[in-house]
Amino acid sequence: MTTTVERPETAVPQHKDPIPWHRIGWALPPLLLVLVFAVYPTARVLTESLSTESGTGLSTWSSVLGSELFRTALWRTIQIAVASTLGCLVLGTFLALVLAFVPFAGSKVVGRLIDTVLALPSFLITLAFTFLYGTAGAVNALIIRITGDASGPLNFLNTPFGVIAAEITFFTPFVVRPLLAAFTQIPREQLDVAASLGASPVRVLRQVVMPEAWPALLAGGSLVLLMTLNEFGIVLFTGAKDVVTLPVLIYTRGIVTFDLPGAAVIATVQVALSLGLYCLYRFTFNRLMGGSRAAVDPKL
């Protein structure tokens, strides 16, 4: 009886994958750009807010955050940003629905004009508001000519309402454009089937159209909220002296009074507020998109 002795298998040497230096090389330029143009200025602002002649920045932080002017500017900034965002969502949704589902002559021209606003600086909208609705604007001049009064009734540009109206006019296209893109992805057959089953246009809009547009509406609204939160040009060009927002307060502290530590403290708060809103947007967006995918595929 013969026995065979099995040879032990020789272990194959494990070779580590070489370091992909070419990928690291391609990643370095954008990383350096982010560090130079984003991380360094933010870190410099934070360092400036903590640097004073006495060697501690806590006194600067306490004096700035405890001032009535800062609290008023913070509350005014939030008020204007939220009101402008809500106005943009309402007006942008209406315009997108009309352009997408209500055919009329010149709809493409209107869409192109809305896209053109995206390329314009914000102060041009403010100047247009001044020429139209200012105390010496065209609308007041027309009303004076008709009624014979000494002055026109419109005098709102120097108020928070004037700032909100100008921001709604300028930032509404940032809501219209993603909504139009979302509406074009809805199959026409789905709308026809819903209508053939007896659903009213309002029900079709509520149960078919808008659920598909929620991600686009959330993206556009979040973008508008971030931009209105940091808007400076519209507030400055309206000449609203009583409307003091955080960007205006940063400009006043840093350029007018040359209080760089105080301006750095307010700028740090502004950056923290913007980053917090962005993180909240990403969390909410991921939850919504995750929920929609789970509804489509239960295995997710």
pLDDT (tens digit, 9 = 90+) per residue, 9-22?
555 555 555 666 66
- Which residues, at least 6 apart from 257, have a Cβ–Cβ distance to it below 8 Å? none
Q: How confident is the model at residue 291 (pLDDT cuts 50, 70, 90)?
A: very low
Is 134:151 a contact under the CB 8 Å cutoff?
no
- More confident site: 211 or 24: 211
Q: Which residue has the tokens 């629905």?
A: 97
For the cut 60, the answer to whether the pLDDT of residue 145 exceeds it is yes
Q: Which of 24-38, 43-57, 205-219, 231-245 has the lowest mean pLDDT?
A: 43-57
Q: How confident is the model at residue 296 (pLDDT cuts 50, 70, 90)?
A: very low
d(C-alpha 243, C-alpha 252), whole Å: 13
The pLDDT of residue 42 is: 74
d(C-alpha 197, C-alpha 194), whole Å: 5
- More confident site: 247 or 33: 247
d(C-alpha 288, C-alpha 216), whole Å: 11
- Overall average pLDDT of the 229-258 stretch: 85
Give the pLDDT confidence of 116-136 residue by residue, as tens digits: 887 888 888 888 888 888 777
Average pLDDT over the chain reads 79
For the cut 60, the answer to whether the pLDDT of residue 268 exceeds it is yes
For the cut 90, the answer to whether the pLDDT of residue 3 exceeds it is no
For the cut 70, the answer to whether the pLDDT of residue 235 exceeds it is yes
Q: Which residue has the tokens 């502290």?
A: 253
Helix (H) or strand (E) holding 226: helix 210-229
- Which residues, at least 6 apart from 164, have a Cβ–Cβ distance to it below 8 Å? 80, 83, 84, 87
- Overall average pLDDT of the 187-197 stretch: 72
d(C-alpha 131, C-alpha 157), whole Å: 11
> Which of 81-85, 174-178, 234-238 has the highest mean predicted lDDT (pLDDT)?
81-85
The pLDDT of residue 142 is: 84
Which pTM was predicted?
A: 0.78
For the cut 70, the answer to whether the pLDDT of residue 284 exceeds it is yes
Q: How confident is the model at residue 294 (pLDDT cuts 50, 70, 90)?
A: very low
